Structure 1
Amino acid sequence: MSLQEQLKSAQKDAMKAKDKIRLGAIRSVLAAVKQREIDEQITIDDAVVTAVIVKLVKQRRDSYTQFKDAGRDDLADKEASEIEALETFLPQPLTEAEVAALVESTITELGASGMQDMGKVMGVIKSKAEGRADMAVVSALIKQKLTA
């Protein structure tokens, strides 16, 4: 079952359970996927859906932080609930050791030797670990390895 089919099935379940927050989160993903499909005139696969979910989770984390800073705990709690709902559709996250091993093997594989190779390394890792690792952490790790 594709990720898009899983989302549609979860949408039906959320409707039946009258879970408004989960339903809203799923609908936002499906709408963003449909929009991307129309805008780019592509057929959607699981990688595209995962990228959309990652983007929406990141947006909600930013909103959560802003709401918390502004003292709007009610809205922050809603964002946190939506983040939890969306994260159930993301693949299992990589451990720190797995991320470090992936960075190390990619650097070796590409023969990267300095910061000028950062973009190449980041591109390869992003395709392998999208939605499974925090790209900011990966970027910092790559910089550390390439400058050492």
Structure 2
Amino acid sequence: MVVIKRLVKQRQDSIEQFTAGGRADLAQAEEAEMAILKTYLPAEMPTDQIKAIALAKKTELGINDRAKIGILVGAVMKETKGQTDGKIVKEIVESLF
């Protein structure tokens, strides 16, 4: 599963670069490959569920300081067990402060 996620991320990065470079044809090819790869991944966890987990972990760990965001992100990532992207978790955790 980690390998497939890495491949999806590579495709996403390629799509952004091809789009910025004006190569819509290559971007479409990457999007098609990414869609196929995503069929092998489990469904993403909804953001409201991630936020609920983040709030619970924040309370459980007693984190009230913005300097400890990394600890909270790590705890939420461990709890979600790869069902969400770390970037999304970081955005949700930052919104709590």
TM-score range, shorter chain: 0.7 to 0.9
Matched residues, percent identical?
A: 33
Aligned residue for 1:108?
A: 59
**From 15, 28, 32, the counterpart of 1:64:** 15
Could you give the per-residue CA deviations for residues 33-85 of structure 1, whole angstroms, max 9, x where no partner exists? xxxxxxxxxxxxxxxxx222222211110100111121212211111011111
Q: Structure with the greater relative contact order (CA < 8 A, sep ≥ 6): 1 or 2? A: 2
Give the alignment's TM-score, normalised by structure 1: 0.59
Give RMSD over aligned pairs.
Answer: 1.7
Count how many residue pairs are aligned between Structure 1 and Structure 2.
Answer: 97
The answer as to 2:26 corresponding to 1:89 is no
Q: Distance in 2 between matches of 1:84 and 1:71?
A: 21
Matching residue of 1:121: 72
The structure whose Rg is larger is 1
Alpha-carbon distance in structure 1 between the residues aligned to 2:82 and 2:41: 6
Gaps of 5+ in 1: 1-49
Once the two structures are TM-superposed, the CA of residue 131 in structure 1 deviates from its matched residue by: 4.1
Match of 1:134 in 2: 85
Give the TM-score normalised by the residue count of structure 2: 0.85
Say which is worse superposed, 134-143 or 91-100, in terms of deviation: 134-143
Task: Summarize the Cα distance change of 1:130–1:79 in structure 2 as closer, same or farther, 3 Å threshold.
Answer: farther
Which SS does the other structure have where 1:82 is aligned? helix
Query: Displacement, 1:126?
Result: 1.7
- Cα–Cα, structure 1 residues 91 and 81, in superposed 2: closer, same or farther, change >3 Å? same
Output the amino acid matched with 1:135: G
